Amino acid sequence: MIKFDNNNAGSLLQQVQQKQSSLMEKLASGKQVNSAADGPAAQLIIDRLTSQTEGSRQAISNAYDGISLAQVAESGLANITDDANRIRELTVQAGNGALNDSDRQALQSEISALQENISLTVEQTNFAGKPLLSGGQDISFLVGSSSGNNIDVETNNVTDSISDLLSIDVTNAESRQQALDIADASLASIGGFRGDLGATQNQFASAARVLTESSINSESARSRIQDLDYAQATSDMAAAQVQGQASLSVQAQANQQQGQVLALLS
C-alpha cells in the first residue's frame, strides 16, 4: 500500500495559524510584548519600567500633598501675622498720652480678642488630622520612586514661640514699654516660619517637576519596547492570511492527489 505524507503541508499551515493567532492577540491588545513568551528580556525591562513609573506617579502625588500641607500651614501663619500686626498697631495706639484708662481698656479688649483668635488659629490649623502649628514635629513625604528621597515639613509650636505676644496687656504701663519689642520679636518668628514653609513648597515643586520628567521618560522607554507598530502588524497579518490561504490550497491539492492515487490503485 502506498502512503502519502502530507505532514509538511500540515506543519506549514499550523505555523501560519499560530502566527495569525499571535498577530491577532497583539492587534487586540496594542502591545508587541504581552507576556514573557513574546520576549523574556523585554518583559523584564517592561516590568522594571512599569514599577518605576508607578512609583514616580505616587511620589508626584506625595509631593503635591506636601505642597498642600505647607500651604495650609502658611495660610494659618498668615492669619496670625495679620492679628499680630493689629496687636502691634493697638499697642502703639495705647502709648498715646491723651488716652485715659478707659480708652486703654477698650484697646485691651480688642487685643484680648485677637490673642484668643491667634490661639484658635493655632489649634484649628490641621491637615488630615495632623496639627501644623502646634505639633513641633516634622512630617515626612517620600518624593522618589526609591527609599530615602524624603522632604520634611517642619511643624513649629507657634504658641510657645509667641507666648509673650499672647500675654501683652496695654492697660499696664510697664507692660506697654515692652509690648512693641515683644510684638516685633513675635512677627519675626512668624516670618521665619513662613519663610521656611515657602522654601519647602519650592522644594516640593522642584521634586515634582523632576519626577514628572522621569515618569515621562520611563513611559516613553516602555512604550518603545511594549507598544505595537500597527502598520507593521497589519502588514504582517495580511501576509499571514495570504500564506494561510496558500497552505490550505496546497493541503487540499495534496489530499485530492492522494485520493486520486488510492482510487487508481483500488
pLDDT tens, residue by residue, 33-89: 666 666 677 777 767 877 778 888 899 999 999 999 999 999 999 999 999 999 999
Helix (H, G, I), strand (E, B), or coil: what is residue 56?
helix
The pTM for the full model equals: 0.71
Residue where the block lists cell 495650609 = 72
Q: Which of the residues in the chain have pLDDT under 70?
A: 1-39, 46, 145, 222-223, 226-266
53-76 b/e with 16+ CB inside 10 Å = b? bebbbebbebbebbbebbebbbeb
Domains of the chain (ranges, CATH numbers): 41-225 (1.20.1330.10)
**Cα 155 from Cα 142, distance rounded (Å):** 17
Residue where the block lists cell 492527489 = 257
Which amino acid makes up residue 136? G
The predicted structure's pLDDT at residue 4: 40
